[in-house]
Amino acid sequence: MTKGIFITLEGGEGTGKSTQIGLLQKALSAAGVDVLTTREPGGTPQAERIRNILLQRDSGTFDPMTEALLLFAARREHLVQKIWPALERGQWVISDRFADSTRAFQGYGMGLDMQVIEDLYRMIAGDFQPDLTFILDIDPERGLQRSIKRQAETAVTEDRYERMGLAFHQRLRNGFHEIAKQFSDRCIIVDAAQDVETIHRQIMGDIKARAGARLREMQHA
């Protein structure tokens, strides 16, 4: 059986990742692709517990290394219990965040040594990487306004990172741009200030350009 494709969506707060993942799942399913969507931190019961520790507004503060270790523990569970088995079954997996978020948040945002992050990544994932990563990019001030508005409408309390201030989120944005340069073979920056349908068309166009043959295989299987 042909292995599936692993696609990740990354970016700062308020970039519309969840909306685009929903549209992407619908479009790929319509094309005959068996799609699994997931998220980080989280994706499995144990990893979701770690998510609850890290993202809730009343969780307090963590040393950046502690935070990274918690994230990589959740990621290991996510990989072993969900992502790798799904890819082996031939499913395409779409994740709302993955390791690039750790590089951006704990590395560029909080100042944790990037070599430490890469060493931890190799320990839990080896040479495994996403096949394709879309980095949704928006001015941090606008993104935070979007995110805070959405949270107010839905009573979401996972806003610990939103409360870290504009300077932190500017470092995140700069970090994601650096990550896109470092991993240019798989990373594509998408202007998240565009309307939803325009962003979706760009993402689908890039997937067809990168994995068109696989899509056609699915459609004629």
Q: Cα 83 to chain center, whole Å?
A: 13
Per residue in 2-47, pLDDT (tens digit) is: 899 999 999 998 899 999 999 999 999 998 999 999 999 999 999 9
At 14 the three-state DSSP class reads: coil
Strand-pairing partners, residue 39, are 96
Fold of 6-219: Rossmann fold (3.40.50)
Q: What is the pLDDT of residue 75?
A: 98
φ and ψ of 41, to 5 deg: -65, 150
Record the pTM. 0.92
Q: Which residues contact 204 (CB under 8 A, 6 or more apart)?
A: 24, 27
What average pLDDT does range 192-214 have in this prediction?
91
- Check residue 156 and give its pLDDT: 67
| Alpha-carbon Rg for the chain in angstroms | 17
| Cα(13)–Cα(3) distance, integer angstroms | 31
Q: Where do the domains of the chain lie?
A: 6-219
pLDDT in the model for residue 13: 86
Q: Could you give the 3-state DSSP secondary structure of residue 17?
A: helix
pLDDT tens figures, 146-201: 877 776 666 666 677 777 888 999 999 999 999 999 999 999 999 999 999 999 99
pLDDT of residue 138: 94
In the chain, the percentage of residues whose pLDDT exceeds 70 is 90
Q: What angle do CA 103, 105, 110 make, to 5 degrees?
A: 105
In this predicted model, what pLDDT tens digit does every residue of 39-95 receive, in sequence order?
A: 999 999 999 999 999 987 777 788 999 999 999 999 999 999 999 999 999 999 999
Is it the case that residue 221 has pLDDT exceeding 60?
Answer: no
Q: What is the pLDDT of residues 82-138, one digit of tens each?
A: 999 999 999 999 999 999 999 999 999 999 999 999 999 999 999 999 999 999 999
DSSP 3-state of 130: coil
Write the CA distances from 145 to 57, 95, 137, 151, 160, integer angstroms: 17, 24, 14, 10, 15
- The reported pLDDT for the residue numbered 143 is 82
**Residue 139: strand, helix, or coil:** coil
